Structure formats: structure tokens, C-alpha cells
Amino acid sequence: MSVLSLSLGKKTGRLPERRRPAFPMVALALLFSLLALLPLGFVVAVGFDTGWPTIKALVFRPRVGELLSNTLWLTVLAVPISILLGVTLAWLTERTALAGRQLWSALAVAPLAIPAFVQSYAWVSAVPSLHGLSAGVFLSVLAYYPFIYMPVAAVLRRLDPTLEDVAASLGTPPWKVFFRVVLPQLRLAICGGALLVALHLLAEYGLYVMIRFDTFTTAIYDQFQSTFSGPAANMLAGVLALCCLAILLLESASRGKARYARIGAGAAREQKRLVLGKGAAFGAQLLLLLLVMLAMGVPLLVLCRWLWLGGIDNWLHADLWHSLRQTLLLGAGGALLTTVCASPHCVARRALSAPAVPPAGGV
């Protein structure tokens, strides 16, 4: 029987040797980190030039409180709903014998192919009265729940069911097995996905402009475009940066230091999928179908309708092909540059955290 370790963060009698990362990788990681922090440095520099009296007048005002309230409510509502939806879908596609689960698994991540702004544009075209906090939460969940689904599904796919079997053999009900055994092993995946969702909520602009819901990003753009007021927009950007920092610290605290890994010899036993009853299977299929229709069906139908009404002239417009070419170039270039910048961090982090073979006589 394989053995699982539920916390690899515990200290042993002897510390294993660690590989030292190559100096060029550390230097590159520091360089790319400094480049990424340049916008934050600009905000801080402008803040010093502005002076405390102006900062106090610009930050401590009702408008900032309104934006902060909108942001907090949006995050507090959208992130838990995304977690609930993502974990549920991951469990249905990875742990049950649901018919068509491979198709549903592919469709569950398909909303990432539709940008949040396009999602919002399509829904506002179909339902013009859609606006406010409820609309923001609804559309944000549809656009970003795959960030929860993907890591959770990946972890569920790799889990060794030995611990679950042991818990079940001790008479633990299935629902308690999930909450006491499976869910703790999903914590890191859930925290990582929730962090991505929360940061996207804070950084998103186009989605909330379409539904006329004010956030820090929309207010920063409006402030700068309407009055060209650098200090006012800069102070809003500073508050937004503090919100992002608070979310990063919260995620780090909730993640903790525990790590979960299988350390036993041999291959892990294949997971046994749960066979749902007719009623439960029908409800699961209905949930998946409803989600796909909301996240994919409505946007695609609205876009196809506008393309049909526009006729062939839409495809012959010169701006269309120019915009498409620019988008592809920016997307490919951004992906390549991001990979290049992230690689030194990964190599340096791996070398600092991964232990080498323990010394002779170590356990």
C-alpha cells in the first residue's frame, strides 16, 4: 500500500543539501522583477511629489470609498461563487462516471476563449438592462470560473485514492471523506485559482464599462481622460495596488506551508469513478448544459447574429484584418516574452526549494 504525506513542511533530523541556483538565473530573475515593479515605483514617486495634503484630499473622499465598496463586494461575491462552481464541475468531470465527461471537461474551460469584454458586450446586447453589482458578479463568474476548474481538476486527476479508502474503511461517510480528506488536498489549487480570479477582477476594465459598474480601473481611465489629472488618477492607482497587495498576502496566508505529495513506492491505484443515480446524473447534465449555454451559447449567438446582420461588408473592412494581425502579434509576442521572463524565476525557485539526495546515513 502506498504512503501519502499530508505535510511535507515538517522538519526531519537532518537537513538535506540544496542545490545553489546559477548566478545568471538569479540575476535575470531580479532584473525582470525590477522591470515588473517599475509601474509601482512610478506611482510611489508621483505620490511623493504630490505631497501628503493633496494625497489626503484625493484618497480620503466619498468617491474612493464608493469604488472600494464596489471592489470589495465584487470580490467577496464573485470569488466564492467561482470556487463553488469550479470545484463542483471538477468533481463531476474527474470523479464521476458522468456520460460525456470528456466533452464536458473541454467545454468547462472553453469560456477562456471568449474575452471578458466580449462576454459583457454580448450579454448587454441581449439584455440591455444588465448593469450594476449583480451583473458584474454574474459575468465575472462566467468569464473566470475556469481559473478554479483547471487546477482543481488537475489535482483531482492525480490524487491517490488510498487515503480516501482508509477513511471509508473506518466508516466515514462519503461526504465527510470529501471534506476531511479530498478538500484539504485541493487547498493549494483552490487558493491559486482564487488568486487569479481576484486579481482579474481588480484589473478588468472592459467588462465593467459595458455594464456601467464603477471600479478602480474604470475610474482611473475616466479620471485621466476627462481631466488629464495625473495626481488623482495616480492616487486611485495606488489604492488599487494596495488592494492587489492585500489579496496576495491573504492568499499566501491561506495557502500556508503544508505541501501534499505521494511518497510511497509503486504506481498509484486508478481512481474508481462514482456512478450517479438517474436523478443526480440528470441534474449534473442539466447544470453543465446551463453553464455552457450561459458562458458560451449566448455570446456566440449574439456575435453570429451581428455578423449576419452586417453582411459580407464586415469581412471586407480593412480595419478588421489590421486589428486581427495586431492582436495575433501582440498575443504571440506577449506570451513569448512572459515565458522568457518567468523562466529564470522558476529555475531559481526550483533550485532553492528542491532538496538534493540526502547525505549518506540520512533518513
Confidence at residue 289, expressed as pLDDT on a 0 to 100 scale: 95
Q: pTM value?
A: 0.84
Domain 40-256+276-299: top CATH class: mainly alpha
Alpha-carbon distance 162 to 168, whole Å?
A: 10
Using the predicted structure, report yes or no on whether residue 9 has a pLDDT greater than 50. Answer: no
Alpha-carbon distance 202 to 209, whole Å?
A: 13
Confidence at residue 20, expressed as pLDDT on a 0 to 100 scale: 59
Closest CA to 220 of 45, 42, 63: 63
Using the predicted structure, report yes or no on whether residue 342 has a pLDDT greater than 60. Answer: yes
The angle formed by the CA atoms of residues 183, 351 and 25, to the nearest 5 degrees, is 125
Confidence category of residue 253, pLDDT binned at 50, 70, 90: confident
Mean pLDDT for 318-345 is 89
Mean pLDDT for 148-162 is 90
pLDDT tens digits, 270-287 = 777 888 888 999 999 999
Contact in structure between 303 and 122 (CB atoms under 8 Å): yes
Closest CA to 83 of 183, 165, 163: 183
Largest CA distance in the chain: 76
Confidence at residue 22, expressed as pLDDT on a 0 to 100 scale: 67
Domain definitions of the chain by residue range: 40-256+276-299
pLDDT tens digits, 20-66 = 556 788 888 889 989 988 888 888 888 888 888 888 888 888 989 99
Confidence category of residue 266, pLDDT binned at 50, 70, 90: low
Confidence at residue 55, expressed as pLDDT on a 0 to 100 scale: 84
Give the residue with greater pLDDT, 126 vs 19: 126
